[in-house]
Chain A
Amino acid sequence: MASFLYNVLFKRSSTFTVTILVSCFIFERGLDLVADQIFEQVNQGVCLNT
């Protein structure tokens, strides 16, 4: 598994760059969604969209 990841994603700078960009996008989007969810949970009935 680890060597597979290394060979496919991290070994070459080109694929490494793409990996960073794509995983950043997914991670950031996920974090945003989770944070907004928590925010709306905490402020139920007070903030927008609830």
Chain B
Amino acid sequence: MAASLGRVCKFGLLKSNYGTLFNQLLACLGVTAGGISALIYALDQSVKASDQVAHPPNYKWGFYGIFSSLDHRSLRRGWEVYKNVCSACHSLDFLAFRHLVGVTHTEEEVKAIAAEYQVQDGPDDTGAYYMRPGKLFDTIPAPYPNEEAARAANNGAYPPDLTYIINASENGENYVFSLLTGYCDPPAGITLREGQYFNPYFVNGALGMPQIIYNEVIEYADGTPATASQVAKDVVEFLMWASNAEFDERKKMTIKVIGFGLISLPLIIYWKRVKWTTVKNTKLLFTPKYKRQ
């Protein structure tokens, strides 16, 4: 390879003593640009210390491995947590019941879950809207009809839609887990307004959401002990899936891409050698023509 490159460039690139003034300038420029980039990166790293907020630690989530799927038993419990706890205030607008089929529950189970909700439908023959039990294709009903109603019920704070909350916040899964389990007494000097609660992981500490996750806050159908950290972990794993519905598919795709890459790599190397063999073996001869005397 190097030899053919050298032939094309008349060995210019490969000579060590080729350093003209221009090349030296170029090298200096490169080093300077690299140095400045490193400096900017380092400064950006250190700037984080000035925020008035605790940074969530990185937990060892089971789904962090490059081939690791979500824990579907945890997802099932996570739905229970959302339904029994979070759904009192937070919507999950971009999920429909049918999305749960084959992920957290079987089709029959999801049909039963959906039927527990009342959904507005219509208009019927007389033009009136009516309520009916939920079906698989309905989106998961929201606790409040609109943002104003949600704010009015929560001291003016708006409980955001949770569907994409993991992707929407920086270091989402660790942040939400820390937020849910991180409530503590406010330090001296912090005054909270009515309906605010101190949470060191929330910027400026005053969060409009009370602590809702305690030990035994719900009872799991599968008998898992519902400690506060277990409940928080399950609901965060569920929200991780809500934000990344294709999560498991992506992990499978990783395996396929690596597999296909391993198969095609030798083929590509062989093909390259076939194509280059003429280039590499070509010899140029200069045969001067002598005039016959």
Q: Give the B-binding residues of A (Cβ under 8 A).
A: 31-32, 34-36, 38-39, 42-43, 46-48
Contact = CB atoms under 8 A, between A and B. Distances in A.
Q: What is the predominant secondary structure among interface residues of chain A facing chain B?
A: helix
Contacts of B255: 35, 38-39
Contacts of A46: 62, 68-73
Nearest to A38: B255
Given A39-B248, A39-B252, A46-B69, 14 more contacts: A31-B256, A35-B255, A35-B259, A39-B69, A39-B251, A39-B255, A42-B67, A42-B68, A46-B71, A46-B73, A47-B70, A47-B72, A48-B69, A48-B102
Contacts of A48: 69, 72, 102-103, 248
A19 B251 CA distance: 30
Interface string B262-280: 0000000000000000000
Interface of B: 62, 65, 67-73, 102-103, 248, 251-252, 255-256, 259-260
Contacts of B256: 31-32, 35
B260 A31 contact: yes
Give the top 3 A-B pairs by smallest Cβ distance, nearest first.
Answer: A47-B69, A43-B69, A35-B255
A36 B65 CA distance: 16
A37 to B, nearest CB: 9
A32 B256 CA distance: 7
Nearest to B62: A46
Contacts of B73: 46
